[in-house]
């Protein structure tokens, strides 16, 4: 079965109106789409990443459209960098209400015994320790006002796959991280969830699936039979960060076109 890719949605419901939202990995892919989507939903957005030139382009685009946004240098593997980025956001916007901890890297795409320990450590440093550091510094800023945090996991954190041990370990680890944090901080009115994207167009995805034939074959593994747009993931994050999901915490939300359905 072939399925035509659905047309992009453009409406905005202002579900994040007045909120300050911090986004990591914001210079491309899901992170950049989230910055744009959150701004369209009424948020003041801190766009955090290492590639500051790209952040500044996105922020200039949003400011020209009348939105409030801030470019913040941030390397999620460096605790001081994370702390400074969160501090800058709070100082600029007067607080912090929500965060999408989205920064991450791909795995080695090797069998377990072929993965260098240093490569394994590098994947976990970005994909698991990075969100831990972000939450460590974001949560105290939310103690007096409540808030919501979403972490970008992956279908690789829901099902096993060949040649994916390092990446899967980092993403399965996120499930434990967000479930425990959800329990710890519910008394403070802070919700913590994750989205688990399936195949989604991004720089990282295109490096891995670099031909149309490869992308078509990957799409065919999903019952919905297409590769998602980054904005599809941003919209799922909007729901989880908004008051519409006020009764949802500790959830890993599949956004995978049905690929993880048993």
The catalytic residue positions are 167
How many CB atoms are located within 10 Å of the residue 9 CB? Answer: 11
Q: Which residues pair with 5 in a beta bridge?
A: none
Taking each continuous run of H as one helix and of E as one strand, the counts in the chain are 9, 7
Contact, 148 vs 240, CB < 8 A? Answer: yes
For residues 149 and 143, what is the distance between their CA atoms, to the nearest angstrom? 13
For residues 36 and 43, what is the distance between their CA atoms, to the nearest angstrom? 10
- 2 CB contacts (<8 Å, ≥6 apart)? 225
> Could you identify the residue written with the tokens 């994370």?
82
> E strands, the chain, where?
20-24, 44-49, 69-73, 98-101, 147-152, 190-197, 252-255
Give the pairing type, strands 69-73 and 98-101: unpaired
First to last CA, the chain: 20
> E strands, 25-86, where?
44-49, 69-73
């Amino acid at each position: 079965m072939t399925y035509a890719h659905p047309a992009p949605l453009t409406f905005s419901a202002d579900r994040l109106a007045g909120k300050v939202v911090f986004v990591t990995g914001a210079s491309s892919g899901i992170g950049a789409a989230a910055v744009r989507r959150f701004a369209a939903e009424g948020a003041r957005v801190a766009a955090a990443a290492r590639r500051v030139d790209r952040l500044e382009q996105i922020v200039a685009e949003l400011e020209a459209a009348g939105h409030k946004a801030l470019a913040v240098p941030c390397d999620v593997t460096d605790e001081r960098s994370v702390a400074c980025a969160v501090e800058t956001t709070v100082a600029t916007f007067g607080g912090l209400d929500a965060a999408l901890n989205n920064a991450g890297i791909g795995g080695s795409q090797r069998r377990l015994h072929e993965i260098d320990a240093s490569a394994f450590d590098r994947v976990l440093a970005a994909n698991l320790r990075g969100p831990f550091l972000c939450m460590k510094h974001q949560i105290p800023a939310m103690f007096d006002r409540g808030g919501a945090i979403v972490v970008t996991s992956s279908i690789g954190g829901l099902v096993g796959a060949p040649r994916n041990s390092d990446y899967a370990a980092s993403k399965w680890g996120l499930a434990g991280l967000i479930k425990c944090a959800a329990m710890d901080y519910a008394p403070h009115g802070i919700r913590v969830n994750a989205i688990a994207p399936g195949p989604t167009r991004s720089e990282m995805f295109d490096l891995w699936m670099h031909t149309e034939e490869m992308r078509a074959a990957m799409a065919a593994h999903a019952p919905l039979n297409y590769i998602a747009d980054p904005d599809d993931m941003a919209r799922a994050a909007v729901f989880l960060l908004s008051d519409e999901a006020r009764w949802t915490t500790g959830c890993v939300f599949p956004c995978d076109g049905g690929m993880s359905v048993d």
